[in-house]
Amino acid sequence: MGIVLGMVIALLGGFIIFMNIPYSPVVSEFRELQKEINLGSTNFESKVFTMKDIAYLPKPVQNYFIQCGFIGKRKMKIMNAKFYDADFILNKGSKPIKINYFQSNVANAPIRLALIDTSIYGLPFQGIDKYIDGAGSMKGVLGKVFTLFDEGGTEFEKASLATYLAECFLVPSAILENDIAWEEIDEYTVKAIIHYKDVSVSGIFTFNKDGEVISFFTKDRMAISTDGTKENAPWSATFKNYISKNGVKNPSRLQGIWHYSEGDSIYFDGKLSEIKYE
């Protein structure tokens, strides 16, 4: 009996230690993927954004480049962003939790990585979203070893492409490098359609008088719960409180919103703690 109890205590102690060490398989996977996309992405060297680059774009998009300070600035190949203590709703109807959120978007192709780092039931939880070479998936791991969900498929690939399109103004090189068709609706609104790997999605961008993009709206992004439940619902992203740093303006607060038939759900609400370009 004493031997069994000792083994149980030892195992429990080892589990507690494992839960508290910094190592996480999901975080390690995220960092390895970051290295891979960095090696595989286009290096623009010393090239800068010019008025000639944006001449074919609708006026509101041109104004974004001009008024947000990107003309004359070096083109980026990757954007890395960090959000700390963002409010996040994992599934429809759930209560929001606090998360740290890290993402990387590639400019020359629709490639996007995102990592959620938080705790659930007192245990560490990490989730990873990835969209690479046209394949999209999301995986969540509790306690570093227990996979709670691992979803993918056609709907998620389409949703991932829509998300990439929504965020293209955060990495402006992506606007020039991808197969995006633009249609000017009025002086503050444009429609964008992105094509990639036989998949197309579209959405509406809205701008303000200062040239800042303030929202994106689409019906091409399906709500997918961690249990695989799928629901068609309009989706939008908002970009608020622009801040100028190093001569360019970026939003400091981002929200993701599902427009369900029974009401809107702001499932992501985060302050942009850091944005870096490579």
Enter the pTM of the model: 0.90
Alpha helix (H) residue ranges in 73-191:
154-166, 173-177
Q: Could you give the CA distance from residue 145 to residue 28 in angstroms, rounded to a whole number?
A: 13
Determine the topology of domain 22-277 in CATH: outer membrane lipoprotein receptor (LolB), chain A (2.50.20)
Q: Could you give the CA distance from residue 250 to residue 148 in angstroms, rounded to a whole number?
A: 35
Q: How much of the chain is in helix, strand and coil states, percent to nearest 5?
A: 25, 45, 30
pLDDT at 19: 45
Structure token digits, residue 80: 């890395």
165 near 158, Cβ under 8 Å? no
Given a cut of 50, the residues of the chain with pLDDT beneath it are: 4-19
pLDDT at 272: 97
pLDDT at 12: 40
pLDDT at 18: 42
Q: Could you give the CA distance from residue 234 to residue 232 in angstroms, rounded to a whole number?
A: 7
pLDDT at 23: 77
pLDDT at 190: 99
- Residue 253's identity, in one-letter code, is R
Q: Could you give the CA distance from residue 206 to residue 188 in angstroms, rounded to a whole number?
A: 6
**266: CB partners within 8 A, 6+ apart:** 87, 89, 255, 256, 257
pLDDT at 22: 59
